[in-house]
Amino acid sequence: MMDAGRHPHIKLLTYSEVEEVSGYVGHFHVKVRQRPRYVDMDLCTGCGECAEACVLKKGVPNEFDAGLSRRRAAYLPMNGQGVPMKAVIDEEACLFLRRGKCTQACLEACATEAIDFEQKDEIVELDVGAILVATGFDMFDPSRLSSYSYGKSPDIIDGLEFERLSSATGPTQGQILTAAGKKPERVAIIHCVGSRDENANRYCSRVCCMYSLKHAHLVRDKTGADVFEFFMDIRAFGKDYEEFYERVQQEGVYFVRGRGAEVLVQDDGQIQVRAENTNLGIPVDINVDMVILATAMEAQRDAARVASTLGISRSANGFFQEAHPKLRPFHTNTDGIFLAGTCQSPKDVPDTVAHASAAAAETLSLLSRGEVVISPTTAVVNDELCSGCKTCIALCPYSAISFVSEGATGVATVNEVLCKGCGTCVAACPAGAITARHFSEQQIFAEIEGLFRIPLAADLEKEMALS
C-alpha cells in the first residue's frame, strides 16, 4: 500500500466514492465524489498534533480497533498506519462541524495550518481504460444469530476483535486480556459463525478455519490458557496448512468436533459454551473466560449499489460474479471491468494476492494492447425499419443499446463493443429491425428449411438397414 501511495503513476483517491460510471472498455468515464477530510492533503505532515489537541476527550469508537479503543474527532486513520498518512476530521464526531461550537484547539495545534473547515464535497471526473474492483468484504455481524449471545458480554468477541487484541499496535499492545484486564484461563473458539449455516450464509467462508487455528496458537503461546475449538470440519486446504493444523494440535489445543450450538452468559457474567461432541456422541458444556467467534466473510453491505453503478452482476451469495468460475475468475461479464480479491469470493491472503496479481496483469495487458478484440456476432439495427419503440433498450443485459433522437422520433443503435451477441433484442424487436449477425432470422429459417429437405437421420438408418 505504501508503495502504491508513493508510485508516480498511481493516484490515490481516498475518502472517496464512485458515483457514476459510463462508457465502455477503453473509454470509461468515472465520476468520483471525494468527501471532505477538512485537512489539506498537501500541507498535512501526519504529525498527529491535531488528534492530541482535539477537545473530544471521550472520543468515539475506533473502527480500526474494531471498537475496542476510542479515537477523537481529528485522528490519523488506522492508528497512524494509513496510506496516505494524513489526518482526517470525522464530521459526524467533530463538535464544530456538528454543532458549530468548539474552541477549535486543533487549528492552533496544527503547525502547517492544514486544517480547513470550509472544505466541501468534490467531484473528480476521470477517463480510464479499465476498472479493477477491489472493494473487499464485510465481516458477518454475529449479533444476527442470537444463540451466540454476541454483545451480551464484552468477552464474547469476533475474529477481527481478537486480531486487534493480539496486535502489537492494538488497544492492549498485543496482550490477550479479558475485558476485566486479566489473562484468560479458558478460551473457546467457535467455527463457522455465519457460514455453512442455513440461518445465515450457506457457503464456506474459507478463511475462518485457518485464522481460528492461528488464534488458538496465539492464545496458547501468549497466555497458556486451555483452548477449545468447536468445529464441524477443519478445512486446511492450502500449502503447509495441514502441517500447521497438526502443529496446533500438538500444542495442546482441545478440538471438539461439533458446531458450537449456544453461548450462554450467566447472571454472574460466567460464559458457558454448549455444543455436541459428535465424535463421542455426548453434549458438552464448558465454562470459559473468553469466546472467539470465527465470523464469516460476507459481501460488502453496499455491494448491490456498487454492482449497479458499475454494471456488473452478483452471485447468489452477494459477492461479485466472475465471468467463469474456473477459466475467467477475475473478469466480469462487462469488458474492461476486473475483480480482485475478496469482492469476488472469500479468500485468504495467498489466494487474494494471486487473484489480484492476475487481475492486474490482465488489466495491463488489455491497456498495453491499445485495441480490443470484439466478437463479430453482434446485433445491428436497421435504421430504416426501427420505429424507435425502445423495447430493446430495456432488454439488453449490457446496456449496449442507446437511443439516438432524430427530431420527434429516433432510432436505437447498438454499441458493437458492448454487445455480446446474445440476440435477445433481435427476438424482441416488433419491427424486425435488428439483425443478429451470423444468427439472423433468414439464416435460422434457412437452417430449419434445410433440415426438412434432407432425410431424417432415423429414416436413413432404416434405409441402411434394409440395403
Partner 1 sequence: MSEQFQPHIIGFLCNWCTYTAADSAGVSRMEQPPNVDIIRVMCSGRVEPAFILKAFAEGADGVIVSGCHPPGDCHYSNGNFKTFRRMPLVEALLAQYGIEAERFRWGWISGAEAAKWAQLVCSFTEQVRELGPLNWKRELQSRKE
- Judge contact between 395 and 375, C-beta under 8 A: no
CA distances from 225 to 176, 228, 253, 260, 345 (A): 10, 10, 9, 19, 34
| Cβ nearer to partner 1, comparing 282 with 454 | 454
Q: Compare residues 261 and 428 and give the one whose CB is closer to partner 1.
A: 428
Q: Cite the DSSP H helix spans in 206-240.
A: 208-223
Could you give the CA distance from residue 275 to residue 286 in angstroms, rounded to a whole number? 9
Q: Any contact of residue 110 with partner 1 (CB under 8 A)?
A: no
Q: Does 391 bind partner 1 (CB under 8 A)?
A: no
Specify burial of residue 434 (Cβ count, 10 A radius: 0-12, 13-18, 19+): buried
**Binding string, 344-363, against partner 1, x = CB under 8 A?**
--------------------
Per the listing, cell 466480469 goes with 332
Site membership for partner 1, residue 397 (CB under 8 A): yes
- Judged by beta carbon, residue 242 or residue 441, the one nearer partner 1 is 441
User: Which is nearer to partner 1, 233 or 461 (by Cβ)?
Assistant: 461
Q: Which positions from 426 through 455 interact with partner 1, judged by CB under 8 A?
A: 426-428, 436, 439, 441, 444-445, 447-449, 451-452
Contacts made by residues 403-412, CB under 8 angstroms, sequence distance 24+: 411/381, 411/383, 411/386, 412/381, 412/386, 412/388
Which residue in the set 377, 387, 391, 415 belongs to the binding site for partner 1 (CB under 8 A)?
Answer: 377
Point out which span in 208-216, 244-252, 254-262, 459-467 binds partner 1 (CB under 8 A): 459-467
Left, alpha or beta for 387 (phi > 0: left; psi -120 to 50: alpha)? alpha
Q: Could you say which DSSP state residue 305 is in?
A: H
When asked if residue 387 is in the footprint of partner 1 (CB under 8 A), the reply is: no
Shortest distance, position 319 Cβ to partner 1, whole Å: 12
Label the pairing between strands 409-414 and 401-406: antiparallel
Neighbours of 166 (CB within 10 A): 18
Taking the complex as a whole, the smallest distance from the CB of residue 358 to partner 1 amounts, in Å, to 21
| Cis check: omega of the bond before 184, within 30 degrees of 0 | no
Q: Output the smallest distance, CB 206 to partner 1, in A.
A: 20
Q: Is residue 313 a contact residue for partner 1 (CB under 8 A)?
A: yes
Whether the CB-CB separation of 330 and 339 falls below 8 Å is answered with yes
Binding status of residue 304 toward partner 1 by CB under 8 A: no
| Cα separation, 258 vs 252, whole angstroms | 18
How many chain residues are in contact with partner 1, going by CB under 8 A?
33
- Binding part of the chain for partner 1, among 18-26, 145-153, 314-322, 348-356 by CB under 8 A, reads 314-322
Segment interacting with partner 1 (CB under 8 A) among 199-207, 264-272, 285-293, 456-464: 456-464
Cβ-based nearer residue to partner 1, 36 or 318: 318
Contact track, partner 1, 249-278, x by CB under 8 A: ------------------------------
In the numeric block, which cell numbers belong to residue 74?
481529528
Q: Which of 167, 315, 387, 391 binds partner 1 (CB under 8 A)?
A: 315
424 binds partner 1 (CB under 8 A): yes
Q: Which is nearer to partner 1, 193 or 396 (CB)?
A: 396
Q: Which is nearer to partner 1, 172 or 315 (CB)?
A: 315
Please give the C-alpha separations between residue 426 and each of 89, 238, 383, 418, in angstroms, as whole numbers: 54, 47, 14, 15
> In the bound complex, what is the minimum distance in angstroms from residue 457's beta carbon to partner 1?
4
> Is residue 421 at the binding interface for partner 1, with CB under 8 A as the rule?
yes
CA distance 49 to 294: 37
Are 226 and 186 in contact by the 8 Å Cβ rule? The answer is yes
Query: Would you count residue 73 as binding partner 1 (CB under 8 A)?
Result: no
Burial class of residue 455 (count of CB atoms within 10 Å of its CB; 0-12, 13-18, 19+): exposed
Kindly list the residues in this chain that would bind partner 1 in the complex (CB under 8 A). 313, 315-316, 321, 333, 377, 395, 397-398, 420-424, 426-428, 436, 439, 441, 444-445, 447-449, 451-452, 456-459, 461-462
